């Protein structure tokens, strides 16, 4: 003989089902918010780096080339709500094509940043003739007059970008141009650590954005 559920039993069963379903639905909503925000920030970072590559093209081999690029990319990132920018690396994007890097590097295109240029340095570091890695301590004072003075016109050895001086890019070791038209490829690589929007998703409370873009540079000397 089958026994019918009482109203009290049915209400209890409904409460149990609700207790199971609600947390699952909540986690789905949280995941959608955090993953959606991460995707938005990632896309915004790529846009910021591309904008900076246009600034790089316009700056040519001026002594303050890197300063202009750094200010552009940091401003664009912060305007899009992306902070905690760890490093910005400006590098010779032709390096891997020359057979020096074995095609190994990090980045989203065929001109990745060479592995040797990547570090978590807080200051400014680099590899001679290849790249400059601007760390977060340097980036934190980027919009001061003090920093402007560190990019020295006419003296690469005294300039903050001495490892790969903007005024000497595109120049071969023999003093001539790498390419007859004075062109060379320059890459910009950004690393930013971001907290998730809610911080409530287990195993995903922070993530790292890495983006790069490559454009042509010109040595007009």
Residue 164 lies in a domain: yes
| pLDDT at residue number 99 | 47
- pTM of the entire structure? 0.84
Longest dimension (CA), the chain: 100
User: What are the backbone dihedrals phi and psi of residue 187, each rounded to the nearest 5 degrees, phi first?
Assistant: -110, 150
User: Given pLDDT bands bounded at 50, 70 and 90, which one contains residue 17?
Assistant: confident
What pLDDT digit, counting tens, does each position of 131-171 carry?
999 999 999 999 999 999 999 999 999 999 999 999 988 77
Element (H, E) at 214: strand 206-218
Domain count, the chain: 1
Which segment of 50-64, 86-100, 144-158, 204-218 scores lowest on mean pLDDT?
86-100
**Alpha-carbon gap, residue 102 to 36, rounded angstroms:** 35
Q: What angle do CA 78, 80, 84 make, to 5 degrees?
A: 40
Residue 161 lies in a domain: yes
Q: Which domain holds residue 204?
A: 8-218
Percent of the chain predicted with pLDDT > 70: 81
Residue 193 lies in a domain: yes
- Read off the pLDDT of each residue in 175-188 and give the average, rounded to a whole number: 76
The full DSSP string for 130-166 is: TEEEEEHHHHTTTTSHHHHTTS-TT-GGGSTTGGG-G
**Alpha-carbon gap, residue 132 to 69, rounded angstroms:** 12
What pLDDT digit, counting tens, does each position of 96-111 carry?
665 444 344 455 456 7
């Amino acid at each position: 003989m089958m026994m019918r559920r009482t109203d009290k039993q049915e209400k209890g069963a409904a409460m149990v089902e609700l207790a199971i379903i609600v947390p699952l639905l909540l986690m789905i909503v949280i995941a959608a918010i955090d993953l959606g925000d991460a995707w938005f920030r990632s896309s915004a970072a790529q846009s910021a780096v591309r904008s900076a590559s246009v600034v790089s093209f316009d700056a040519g081999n001026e002594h303050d080339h890197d300063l202009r690029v750094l200010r552009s990319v940091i401003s664009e990132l912060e305007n899009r709500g992306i902070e905690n920018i760890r490093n910005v690396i400006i590098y010779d994007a032709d390096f891997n094509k020359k057979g020096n890097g074995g095609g190994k590097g990090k980045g989203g295109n065929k001109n990745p940043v060479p592995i040797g240029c990547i570090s978590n340095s807080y200051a400014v570091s680099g590899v001679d003739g290849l790249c400059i890695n601007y760390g977060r301590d340097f980036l934190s004072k980027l919009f001061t007059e003090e920093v402007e003075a560190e990019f020295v016109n006419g003296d690469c050895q005294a300039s903050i970008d001495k490892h790969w001086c903007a005024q000497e890019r595109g120049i071969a070791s023999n003093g001539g141009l790498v390419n007859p038209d004075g062109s060379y490829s320059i890459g910009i690589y950004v690393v930013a650590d971001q907290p998730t929007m809610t911080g409530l998703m287990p195993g995903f409370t922070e993530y790292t954005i890495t983006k790069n873009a490559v454009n042509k540079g010109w040595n007009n000397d």
